[in-house]
Amino acid sequence: MNSESKKFLCDLLGQCGPSGFEQKVQSVWVNRTKNFSDKITRDVHGNAIGILNPKADFKIMLAGHCDEIGFIISHISDNGYLHIIPIGGIDTGVLPGSQVKVQTEKGWIDGIIGKKAIHLMSPEERKKVLPMKDLWVDIGAKDKKDALKVTKVGDPISYAPNYLELRNNIFSSKGCDNKMGAFVVSEVQKILSTKKSKLKVGVYSVSTVQEEVGLRGATTSAFGINPQVAMAIDVGFASDMPGVDKREVGEVSLGKGPILHIGPQINPVLGQLLETTAKKKKIKYQMTSLGRPGGTDTAAMQLTRTGVATALISIPNRYMHTMVEACCADDLVAASHLVAETILNITPKTNFIPQ
């Protein structure tokens, strides 16, 4: 990964954007992606769309959602503590001791998710995972009046940015799900912008919103774009860690390439084209099965209007939906080149009707 791409990746991960509050993330994405697009737009939901060859009749949509899981303030106690409800799927067992950012009208303020010290717990309490309603965010306020000077009910909360580089090009950060997808669709745009003479189709790279609460951004943007082909780039479960059953998720490791899939939401022609391109270009990839449509933007795009030929490309991810998700930069590079090279093999005459 070159220095410009790495800076963009770190800039994305350095932003906080729970579902419905993605504006700061989208600003970073737009400011970068506009350099590699013929046109860039944003819609009423907050989706950002970079377009190459906007006059082409045959359209390919790429979707990488930029939103992340988070919280929203539901109540402020008399003592000034912030009580929260989840945005997206939250594992409450990993929350105590977390550092967070509260988005206020005047900017982000720091907070921590607290819990009674283990010394003060009974043996039974130590065994329990606290429900969300029994957790709180401490911003250091003296009381409710003091807290209301800087925040209010309805303010969103995210895990604090915490990018960390590990060995073998592996990095850890909150929000890898799915700033990895938003990164890749912009990176594909960057690659294709240098090969426009070979591009026979229109490409609509979309940083979608509100995926974590129901694929909402992909649903509306796909309807507006009306593509013939669509690919979602998201994260997928790595199984190279303790406790993950490979019989359920397959053999998936960080650093061995993006995950391709076979299953009902994968158009067989497009799926085969991705695999053939990977082999021809000597791009590493891994393969897993999808038994039924899952919770990615692929599902929403596949059912748009009269139907779309779809595929899912996943970036292997450890510790999904925690504040220490881990991915490998090599997989991001491989995914970007695989998607770009696949698009260059598609023409308006390519028939995606399964035979």
Q: Supply the residues annotated as catalytic.
A: 211
CA angle 67, 7, 183 (to 5 degrees): 35
Residue bearing tokens 């090009």? 169
Residue 18 and residue 157 in contact, taking contact as beta carbons nearer than 8 Å: yes
Contacts 24+ apart (CB under 8 A), 95-98: 95/135, 96/130, 96/135, 98/159, 98/160, 98/323
Residue 177 and residue 321 in contact, taking contact as beta carbons nearer than 8 Å: yes
